[in-house]
């Protein structure tokens, strides 16, 4: 009995040790970081964002911030440790070594007469005839009687006095740190052990595998349905205008699965009347256009109306079920837009380039959804190619306010930011009609809007004679971000978007003439540590490839670390140099959360005729030639299939100001088709970050 209890206590001590070894130092490290970490407010502090409740420090919010999986796991493990310590101490008290002299209340070496006297005295207290208490009977039988027998027998007493045990010298005892039921594998314990082994080793992994496979067969790693990706891929076109990106976006399978209820009809009818001007309906045939709109799939109608209601900030009261659908639609929007962006940037033509025009359209749609600004607000106006959308993202600024401040020759967001603080406050209060508190909110948001600069270089590693056709070219792009409040990582001003949204930036190296994106990469300024690690590794590998010394490498790495700490991020990418010629490329840095802060810079790439062996082998070149030929054949087949369906729709953007005659478009169509890998798409040098000149498709 004592041996089994001892084994159980050893098992608990083993478990306690295994938990305490990693838990104690990890907890100390987390407490140290929490105590030394400087708290910075990185979210917008304007009154509109405060009223939204996203950043309110309520008791529930504090509990939610603390109740992370990591913190709850640490707390649970500490509770288990305290319980184990208490239980082990309790077992140690109960399992006492057999001490006959202590039981009888005698000193070691007492005489036989003293032993008998003590035994009689204890018998009066604990004998069953004298004391009816069951505990007294148990104590008398298991301890007092055994102790008396051990000391009255000469041999037992001598053994105890010499070796500490009535049975004489004892061998070395080894305990097993396992519970007793695992040691007794016969009977019921054997069945429990067998069931445990089967459950843990077979059934649990099988259940995890089934759940994972069932989920992975339906969703991607970004929790977007595979059916959504296939739909986006099918409807993505090289000449997709920004105004048409919305039609592709709402076709996501997640949106199509949302239920359409009969109770939604009346609220949707009200939404249709409120946002009808944003639906691009032909006013000359308004009845026909309205009937055509309502004949679409009910889920498409519902999603488009909900998105337009969000963009126009319509204060129409929605029913509780429709309100839940509205919030779910906004919750899914960032993930779906990111996947739509990746689909637009997929290599499509034989050169492995993505499509620039739809990529810019996706970013513009993301900006409008995050800031809740209508798409029509990006239509170019006199003296402003970006429209009034950048101004409408500011708090308390409406179209009426914009019309007032435009009279003072302030037409763009940049012109407003360039003004002095006193002049800007006077303009907003006296001309715009805002109060002093509202003007202060505008000032806070202007300090949050980032200013981006882009520095791009392209070079080949270890090659002489410049960039030649077929070389592997590495692009180095340093993106610098500055804010008026001095922050680098911050959350954007999004009072109408009910969820926390981080800023993401897309860096593109593209050829606007051919509508091709040569390189693309997503960028974030939130994690400075990861950016330092990535920049240091990239600079070190580059310098080592160029044969630099250790001192030069150390200096370059330190410079890169300082640039990252000052608000810069390094973006690297590789591409294969095209055929001989001069290419006027454009590097873009597009933000998915702010309107009007995008930047671009030109880069002229000169590719010389190949005059060295290079790194590509003969077989690789032959394989590339075969792949190009196959791609050309596939492109010819796709031209015949897409000619009837791809350009049946009108891809003219509502933001376009260019008008060209049909003859010029027909002459440029074949050249653009060869560049884009499509049948009849063409570009006219698209693309400023906020709005661009867009070609019009020929529907003949």
Q: Which tens digit of pLDDT belongs to each residue from 335-355?
A: 999 999 999 999 987 888 999
Poorest-pLDDT segment among 284-288, 289-293, 693-697: 693-697
Angle, helices 356-371 vs 320-344, to 10°: value is: 150
Locate tokens 């996203």: which residue?
Answer: 54
Residue 174 in domain: no
- Say yes or no to pLDDT of 201 above 50: yes
Poorest-pLDDT segment among 315-324, 346-355, 435-444: 315-324
Rounded-to-integer distance, Cα 494 and Cα 503, Å: 11
The two tokens of residue 428 are 């907003």
Residue 552 in domain: yes
Mean pLDDT of 206-223: 80
Mean pLDDT of 488-511: 92
Q: Which of 85, 147, 628 minimizes the C-alpha distance to 350? A: 628
Give the rounded percent of residues in the chain with a pLDDT score beyond 90. 37
Assign residue 360 the CATH number of its domain: 1.10.3380.10
Residue 445 in domain: no
The reported pLDDT for the residue numbered 228 is 94
Give the rounded percent of residues in the chain with a pLDDT score beyond 70. 76
Quote the strand ranges of 312-396, DSSP E.
354-355
Cβ 375 vs Cβ 242: under 8 Å: yes
Cβ 499 vs Cβ 331: under 8 Å: yes
Mean pLDDT of 403-420: 90
Give the tens place of pLDDT for each residue, 627-667: 444 444 444 444 434 433 433 343 334 333 333 344 444 44
Q: Give, in order, the Cα–Cα distances in Å from 665 to each of 640, 677, 698.
A: 19, 17, 7
412 against 626, higher pLDDT? 412
The reported pLDDT for the residue numbered 680 is 32
Mark which of 563, 594, 610 sits at the end of a domain: 610
Provide the pLDDT confidence category of residue 137 given band limits of 50, 70 and 90.
confident
Range with top average pLDDT, 282-286, 373-377, 677-681: 373-377
Neighbouring-strand partners of residue 571: 477
Domain total of the chain:
5
428: enclosing H helix or E strand:
none
Residue 168 in domain: no
Cβ 103 vs Cβ 31: under 8 Å: no
The reported pLDDT for the residue numbered 2 is 45
Tell me, yes or no, whether 199 and 263 share the same domain: no
Provide the terminal-to-terminal Cα distance of the chain, rounded to the nearest Å: 96
673 against 219, higher pLDDT? 219
Tell me, yes or no, whether 69 and 143 share the same domain: no
pLDDT mean across residues, the chain: 79
Provide the pLDDT confidence category of residue 669 given band limits of 50, 70 and 90.
very low
Give the tens place of pLDDT for each residue, 586-601: 999 999 999 999 999 9
Give the tens place of pLDDT for each residue, 451-485: 999 999 998 876 666 889 888 999 999 999 999 98
Tell me, yes or no, whether 330 and 272 share the same domain: yes
Tell me, yes or no, whether 457 and 528 share the same domain: yes
Q: How many CA atoms lie within 13 A of 651 on its CB side?
A: 27
Cβ 441 vs Cβ 395: under 8 Å: yes
Residue 699 in domain: no
403: enclosing H helix or E strand:
helix 399-406
Tell me, yes or no, whether 198 and 137 share the same domain: no
The reported pLDDT for the residue numbered 71 is 82
98: which DSSP letter? Answer: -
Mark which of 590, 610, 630 sits at the end of a domain: 610
Tell me, yes or no, whether 475 and 586 share the same domain: yes
Give the tens place of pLDDT for each residue, 162-185: 766 666 665 555 555 555 555 555
Please count the other Cβ atoms lying within 10 Å of the Cβ belonging to residue 536. Answer: 17
The two tokens of residue 451 are 């200013």
The two tokens of residue 476 are 């180095």
Where does residue 610 rank: exposed (0-12), middle (13-18), buried (19+ CB within 10 A)? Answer: middle
- Give the 3-state secondary structure of residue 387: coil
Cβ 443 vs Cβ 396: under 8 Å: no
Tell me, yes or no, whether 278 and 382 share the same domain: yes
Tell me, yes or no, whether 259 and 380 share the same domain: yes
Mean pLDDT of 59-85: 75
Cβ 525 vs Cβ 567: under 8 Å: yes
Tell me, yes or no, whether 455 and 587 share the same domain: yes
Tell me, yes or no, whether 184 and 259 share the same domain: no
Assign residue 114 the CATH number of its domain: 1.10.287.110
- Say yes or no to pLDDT of 671 above 60: no
Rounded-to-integer distance, Cα 254 and Cα 219, Å: 11
Q: How many CA atoms lie within 13 A of 345 on its CB side?
A: 21
Q: Which of 476, 698, 452 minimizes the C-alpha distance to 592? A: 452
Provide the pLDDT confidence category of residue 221 given band limits of 50, 70 and 90.
confident
Poorest-pLDDT segment among 180-189, 217-226, 443-452, 475-484: 180-189
Residue 436 in domain: no
- Give the 3-state secondary structure of residue 562: helix
Assign residue 505 the CATH number of its domain: 2.60.40.150
The reported pLDDT for the residue numbered 532 is 93
Tell me, yes or no, whether 260 and 372 share the same domain: yes
- Give the 3-state secondary structure of residue 397: coil
Mark which of 571, 595, 610 sits at the end of a domain: 610
What are the backbone dihedrals phi and psi of residue 99, each rounded to the nearest 5 degrees, phi first? -125, 95
Residue 680 in domain: no
pTM of the predicted protein model: 0.69
Mean pLDDT of 16-41: 81
The reported pLDDT for the residue numbered 39 is 57
Provide the pLDDT confidence category of residue 187 given band limits of 50, 70 and 90.
low
Domain that holds residue 499: 451-610
The two tokens of residue 461 are 């590693």
Tell me, yes or no, whether 568 and 599 share the same domain: yes
Residue 402 in domain: no
Please count the other Cβ atoms lying within 10 Å of the Cβ belonging to residue 699. Answer: 11
């Amino acid at each position: 009995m004592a041996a089994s209890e001892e084994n159980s206590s050893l098992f608990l001590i083993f478990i306690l040790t295994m938990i305490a070894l990693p838990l104690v130092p990890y907890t100390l490290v987390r407490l140290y970081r929490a105590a030394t970490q400087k708290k910075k407010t990185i979210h917008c502090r304007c009154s509109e964002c405060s009223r939204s409740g996203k950043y309110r420090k309520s008791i529930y919010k504090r509990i939610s911030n603390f109740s992370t999986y990591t913190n709850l796991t640490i707390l649970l493990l500490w509770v288990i440790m305290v319980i184990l310590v208490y239980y082990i101490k309790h077992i140690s008290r109960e399992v006492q070594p057999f001490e006959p002299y202590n039981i009888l209340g005698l000193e070691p070496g007492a005489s036989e007469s003293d032993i008998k006297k003590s035994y009689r005295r204890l018998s009066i207290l604990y004998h069953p005839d004298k004391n009816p208490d069951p505990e007294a009977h148990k104590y008398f039988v298991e301890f007092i009687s055994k102790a008396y027998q051990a000391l009255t027998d000469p041999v037992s007493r001598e053994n105890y006095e010499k070796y500490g045990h009535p049975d004489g010298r004892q061998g070395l005892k080894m305990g097993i740190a396992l519970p007793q039921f695992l040691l007794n594998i016969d009977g019921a314990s054997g069945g429990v052990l067998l069931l445990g082994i089967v459950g843990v080793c077979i059934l649990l992994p099988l259940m995890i595998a089934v759940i994972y496979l069932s989920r992975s067969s339906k969703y991607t790693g970004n929790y977007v349905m595979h059916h959504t990706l296939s739909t986006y891929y099918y409807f993505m076109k090289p000449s997709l205008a920004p105004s048409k990106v919305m039609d592709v976006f709402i076709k996501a399978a997640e949106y199509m699965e949302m239920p359409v209820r009969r109770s939604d009809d009346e609220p949707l009818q009200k939404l249709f009347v409120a946002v009808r001007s944003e639906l691009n309906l032909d006013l000359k045939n308004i009845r026909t256009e309205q009937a055509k709109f309502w004949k679409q799939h009910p889920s498409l109608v519902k999603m488009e109306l909900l998105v337009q209601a969000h963009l126009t900030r319509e204060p129409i009261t929605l029913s509780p079920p429709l309100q839940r659908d509205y919030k779910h639609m906004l919750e899914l929007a960032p993930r779906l837009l990111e996947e739509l962006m990746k689909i637009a940037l997929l290599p499509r033509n034989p050169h492995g380039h993505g499509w620039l025009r739809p990529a810019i359209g996706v970013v513009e749609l993301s900006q409008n959804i995050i800031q809740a600004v209508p798409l029509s607000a990006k239509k170019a106006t006199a003296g402003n190619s970006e429209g009034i959308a950048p101004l409408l993202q500011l708090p308390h600024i409406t179209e009426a306010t914009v019309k007032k401040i435009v009279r003072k020759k302030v037409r763009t967001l940049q012109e407003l930011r360039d003004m002095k603080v006193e002049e800007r406050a006077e303009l907003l209060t006296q001309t715009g009609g805002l109060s002093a508190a509202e003007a202060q909110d505008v000032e806070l948001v202007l300090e949050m809007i980032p200013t981006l600069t882009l520095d791009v270089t392209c070079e080949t590693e270890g090659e002489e004679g410049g960039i030649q056709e077929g070389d592997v070219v590495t692009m180095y792009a340093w993106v610098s971000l500055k804010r008026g409040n001095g922050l680098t990582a911050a959350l954007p001003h999004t009072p109408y978007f009910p969820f926390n949204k981080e800023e993401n930036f897309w860096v593109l190296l593209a050829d606007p003439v051919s509508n091709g994106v040569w390189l693309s990469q997503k960028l974030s300024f939130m994690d400075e540590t990861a950016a330092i690690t990535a920049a240091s590794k990239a600079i070190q590998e580059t310098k080592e490839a160029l044969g630099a010394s250790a001192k030069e490498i150390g200096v370059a790495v330190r410079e890169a670390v300082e640039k990252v700490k000052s608000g810069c991020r390094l973006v690297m990418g590789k591409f294969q140099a095209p055929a001989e010629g001069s290419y006027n490329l454009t590097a873009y840095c597009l933000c998915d959360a702010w309107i009007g802060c995008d930047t671009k810079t030109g880069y002229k790439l000169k590719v010389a005729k190949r005059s060295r062996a290079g790194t590509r082998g003969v077989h690789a070149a032959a394989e590339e030639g075969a792949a190009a030929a196959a791609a050309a054949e596939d492109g010819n087949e796709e031209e015949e299939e897409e000619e009837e369906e791809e350009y049946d729709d009108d891809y003219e953007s509502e933001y376009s100001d260019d008008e060209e005659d049909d003859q010029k478009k027909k002459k440029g169509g074949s050249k653009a088709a060869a560049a884009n890998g499509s049948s009849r798409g063409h570009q006219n040098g698209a693309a400023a970050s906020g709005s661009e000149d867009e070609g019009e498709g020929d529907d003949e």
